[in-house]
Amino acid sequence: MKSQTSNQNSVAKISSTKRFFRTMVQQKYLYFMSLPFVIWIIVFSYVPIWGWLMAFQNYRPRNNILNQDWVGFKHFIELFSDERFYLVLRNTLAMSSMGLIVSFTVPVIFALLLNELRQQFFKRTIQTIAYLPHFVSWVVVSGIVTKMLSTDGGAVNELLMALHIIDQPIQFMAKGEWFWGIVTIADAWKETGWNTIIFLAAMSGIDPELYEASTVDGAGRFRKMWHITLPGIRTTFMVLFILSIGHLISIGFEKQFLLSNPLVNDYAEVLDLYALNYGINLSRYSYGTAIGIFNSVVSIILVFLANFIYKKVTKESVI
């Protein structure tokens, strides 16, 4: 009896490998088609990982990467013992979490509202106007923001003064504690419309019969939103959310770099900027690489963590 089952198992195993190869032969064209992309990924995402060796050396660009002084974890120790590193890590995480929350609530609400519009022409126009700022570069946006918030005839201060909410213009850009908020709001202005597109697309994929059925059952607009539209985009939402958690730590530095000034620098410097100033700019390529490795490791951990939590809660997995 026992031997019989094991026999059956091995038969099943053989047939499953066989089946795998058979389908592989059958679908060989599909495999060929994916080949260029696999090569692409290897060349552009895995080959550069060689460069990580730099983090364990005193790299000097003149010599070959294998012909360098090896220093072990020296750069990591230096990195983790630098006070400034913790400061920039705090700023990075604070700004990216604020950005994450805003970029996943405002666009969803906006998409919900747009989705309720009947008039297609009006809806399309609003949508287009809303996502245009996405194409404006940060250089221009930072110029607009600093000008708007200026004490010297800036629109925001003028408005607040005219409404008698304040008597003296406020120096928005000089208050460190406000910097995170300003970046988040500027980001929301620029990206809300763009982030809405994907949610709107997901919403248009929901079966209209569901809405009809709920109308018959007497559901109002808000009921429909809550019970049909929102669950309908849940998967899309979660996939995007988990992927962006992976990017939490690598938020780039454009906006912080362009909007900051000496007074708010303690709140504005982010990890990438730190890597630039203390790594590459000082020709400390190894130190910069160590920061890069730290970034990647934290990102991977964050993605898996998010996925794990999601799996626990919903019994589904996106990775």
Partner 1 sequence: MKKVKLGLSLLLVMTMLFLAACGNNSNNAGSTNSGSSNSGEEASLEPMTLRLASGDANPQWDNMQSDIGKFIKEKTGITIEQEFPVGGSDADMFALMVASDEYPDLVMPKGNVNKLVDAGALIDLRPLLEEHAPNIMKVYGEYINRLVHSAEDDSIYVLPLDGVGQTYFDAGGGFQIQHQVLEELGYPEIKTVKDYENAIKTYLEKNPTTEDGQPRIGLSLNGGEWQILISVTNPAFYATGAPDDGEFYVNQDTYEVIMHYQRPEEREYFRWLNHMNDIGLLDKESFVQKYDQYKSKIASGRVLGIIDQDWDYAEAENALKAEGKFEQTYANFPVTLDESYQDASFMGTGYLASYGIGITVDAKDPVRIIKFLDYLASEEGQILVNWGIEGQHYTVEDGKRVIIPEVLDMKVNDNNTFKKQTGIGNYFMSARYGDGVLDSTGNYFTTNFPDQIVAQYSEADKKTLAAYGKTVYKDFWPADDAFKERAYGAGWTINFDTASDANVIFQKSQDIMKKYIPQAILADPADFDKVYDEFMAELDKINVAKMNAEYSELIKKRVEMWSK
Residue number, 103 or 142, with CB nearest to partner 1? 142
Least distance between partner 1 and beta carbon 189 (Å): 19
Residue of 242, 215, 217 whose CA lies nearest to 309: 242
Dist CA 187 CA 141 (whole Å): 9
Residue number, 134 or 147, with CB nearest to partner 1? 147
Helix, strand and coil in the chain, % to nearest 5 = 80, 0, 20
The reply to whether 236 sits near partner 1 by the rule CB under 8 A is: no
Q: By three-state DSSP, how is residue 252 classified?
A: coil
The residues in 50-109 that bind partner 1, with binding defined as CB under 8 A, are: 58, 60-62, 84
The reply to whether 261 sits near partner 1 by the rule CB under 8 A is: yes
Dist CA 198 CA 134 (whole Å): 14
The reply to whether 162 sits near partner 1 by the rule CB under 8 A is: no
Least distance between partner 1 and beta carbon 19 (Å): 21
Q: Which residue is it, tokens 């690489």?
A: 289
Task: Spell out, one character per residue from 282 to 311, where the chain touches partner 1: x when CB under 8 A holds, - when not.
Answer: xxxx--------------------------
Least distance between partner 1 and beta carbon 142 (Å): 8
CA distance between the termini of the chain: 40
Please say whether the beta carbons of 295 and 250 come within 8 A: yes
Among 32, 44, 46, 70, binds partner 1 (CB under 8 A): 32
Residue number, 156 or 263, with CB nearest to partner 1? 263
Q: Where are the beta strands (DSSP E) in 85-227?
A: none
Kindly report the number of other CB atoms within 10 A of residue 290's CB atom.
Answer: 25
57 forms beta bridges with: 70
Least distance between partner 1 and beta carbon 65 (Å): 11
Report how far Cα 149 is from the mean position of its chain's Cα atoms.
27
Binding site for partner 1 (CB under 8 A): 29-30, 32-33, 36, 39-40, 58, 60-62, 84, 139, 142-143, 146-147, 150-152, 171, 173-174, 257-258, 261-263, 265-266, 276-278, 280-285
